[in-house]
Each structure stands twice: as C-alpha cells, then as structure tokens.
C-alpha cells in the first residue's frame, strides 16, 4: 500500500505539462506513458483529465495504464463523464465545442481504445476517501449532508450559481464554507491562479488544485502527507481566459 499520495489537479488534456510534473515528482517512464512510481507513492487525479487541451488521447493512455498497473487512482470530473457518455453513444450532458475537439482527437484511435476509454471514464468513482479517512478527493467538492446519488452528482458537477464571476468563469457554490469535518478535501473544477487553502487543519480544511493549466496557468500537485505543493507552468494558453492573462 502507498504511504504517500501525489494528488494532481485538472489536467484537461495537457499531456506535455503532465509529463513534466510527473518527472518533477520522481515518476519514471512518463515519456513512454508507462509510469513507475517512487517507492511508497501513488498518483491521485482530481478529475477532468480530458477536453480543451492538446492531447486528450495521450493523457487517457497514461492514466488508464497507471490505474491498471496500480500506480494511480482517479475520481470522475464533469468533463470525464461527458466524454465517456459521448464515446459510449449515451445521452450527453451539456454538449460543447470542447467535447467535439476531444472526439476529433480520439477519432485517430482504434475503436477498441475508444471503447476502453468510455468504460474507464464512466467507471471512475465520484470521490475517494484515503489515508484512513483523513483525505477526501472529489472533483467539484463535497457536501456530506447530501445522500446517495445526490452526493455523487455533487462530487462530479458541484452546483453552479447561474452567473459569471469577475473574469468570465462560472460562479459556483462555496461548498468549502460548509465543510466542517476533520478530513482534508482536495478538489479542482473551479480555476484559481494559485492553489487555494481554506478552513483550518482538522476543522473544515479544503484545497483547490485547479490552477488553470489549460488556460495558461500551471499544473499543480499536492504531495501528501507532506503537504508540499509542486507546480509546473503551462507551455501556453490552450484556451483563452481573462483570469490567467499575463499582466
């Protein structure tokens, strides 16, 4: 069993930055998409592996292989669920041009790989409880007051407030303000310029790791339990965002 976790924020198809970050974290074999983890470590992805970035197929190949080999875990993000639905021919929740871009990137892959990818994406759990309950990972956050499928739906999609924030991104419910449990919740989903901590250690603590790599920000990992943050800058902005414009 792993004694430490390297929790990685929203990748969104940014394979070059992911490979650089994995090397920084001490993982080998990244260039061949077949990872070997440092002793006692395991990767954990906060979801939104796909869409928007330059290489969704490459990210899927790396993560699927790492999960199969026991080197990684991942929760489901809203973009992961949507792409899985599209690949399986099911109902697509909130179709978008970014989904079309991912499907075009995957059109060069074999039908077998596309079926495997659909099964993988739709089989990802909504949340993971790790380290004996001291660490919870969920893409869009967590509301422990919700039950059953409602909680899982929240973990993947969160709750939009129906309006835009200052820089054009969707404003979302501040679930972290409602979190009062003893465990640390690590999430992504809502892009921020810097990794954002809230609450206090042992009482409602949360961390947002989505530092907007696909928008020209950075790809960030939390080394746990060390609580060390490791970031690599995006090579470029693959999608424009006023939040990450260079001043």
What string of DSSP letters covers 99-150? HHHHHHHHTTS-HHHHHHHHHHHHT--SEEEEGGGTEEEETT---TTS-HHH
**pLDDT recorded at residue 247:** 46
In this predicted model, what pLDDT tens digit does every residue of 79-134 receive, in sequence order?
Answer: 999 999 999 987 776 667 789 999 999 999 999 999 999 999 999 999 999 999 99
Tokens 């954002």 correspond to: 196
**pLDDT recorded at residue 97:** 75
Burial (Cβ within 10 Å: 0-12, 13-18, ≥19) of residue 68: exposed
In this predicted model, what pLDDT tens digit does every residue of 9-64 receive, in sequence order?
Answer: 999 999 999 999 999 999 998 888 889 999 999 999 999 999 999 999 999 999 99
When divided into structural domains, the chain yields a total of 1
Parallel, antiparallel, or unpaired for β 135-138 and 127-130?
antiparallel
In this predicted model, what pLDDT tens digit does every residue of 193-237 receive, in sequence order?
Answer: 999 999 988 889 999 999 999 999 999 999 999 999 999 999 999
Domain boundaries, position 115: 4-244
Q: Computed from CA positions of residues 48, 49, 55, 57, in that sequence, does the dihedral angle turn out positive or negative?
A: negative
**pLDDT recorded at residue 53:** 95
**pLDDT recorded at residue 3:** 80
Token digits of residue 233: 């800058």
Strands (E), the chain: 4-8, 41-45, 72-74, 127-130, 135-138, 160-164, 170-172, 184-187, 196-200, 203-208, 218-224, 228-233
Query: 245 and 222 in contact (C-beta within 8 Å)?
Result: no
Give helix 97-106 / helix 111-122 axis angle, nearest 10°: 130
Tokens 């990685």 correspond to: 8
Q: Per-residue pLDDT averaged across 156-180, rounded?
A: 78
Which helix H or strand E contains 15, and what residues bound it?
Answer: helix 15-24
Separation between Cα atoms, residue 112 and residue 237, nearest integer Å: 32
Q: What number of other Cβ atoms are within 10 A of residue 65's Cβ?
A: 16
**pLDDT recorded at residue 238:** 95
CATH number at residue 159: 3.60.21.10
C-alpha neighbours within 13 Å on the C-beta side of residue 144: 14
The alpha carbon of 124 is separated from its chain's Cα centroid by a whole number of angstroms, namely 12
Tokens 């790599």 correspond to: 213
């Amino acid at each position: 069993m792993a004694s430490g976790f390297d929790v990685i924020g929203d990748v969104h198809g940014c394979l070059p930055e992911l490979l650089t970050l994995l090397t920084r974290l001490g993982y080998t074999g990244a260039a061949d998409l077949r990872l070997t983890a440092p002793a006692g470590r395991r990767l954990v992805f906060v979801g939104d592996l796909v869409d928007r970035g330059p290489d969704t197929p490459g990210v899927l190949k790396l993560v699927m292989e790492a999960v199969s080999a026991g080197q990684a875990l991942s929760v489901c993000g809203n973009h992961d669920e949507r792409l899985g639905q599209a690949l399986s021919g099911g109902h697509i929740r909130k179709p978008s041009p970014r989904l079309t871009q991912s499907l075009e990137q995957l059109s060069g892959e074999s039908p077998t790989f596309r079926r495997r990818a659909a099964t993988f994406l739709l089989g990802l759990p909504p949340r993971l409880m790790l380290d004996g309950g001291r660490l919870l990972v969920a893409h869009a956050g967590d509301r422990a007051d919700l039950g059953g499928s409602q909680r899982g739906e929240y973990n993947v999609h969160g709750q939009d407030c129906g309006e835009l924030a200052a820089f054009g991104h969707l404003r979302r419910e501040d679930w972290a303000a409602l979190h009062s449990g003893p465990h640390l919740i690590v999430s992504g989903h809502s892009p921020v310029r810097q990794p954002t901590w809230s609450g206090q250690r042992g009482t409602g603590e949360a961390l947002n790791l989505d530092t907007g790599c696909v928008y020209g920000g950075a790809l960030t990992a939390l080394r746990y339990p060390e609580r060390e943050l490791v970031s690599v800058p995006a090579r470029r902005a693959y999608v424009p965002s006023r939040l990450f414009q260079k001043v």
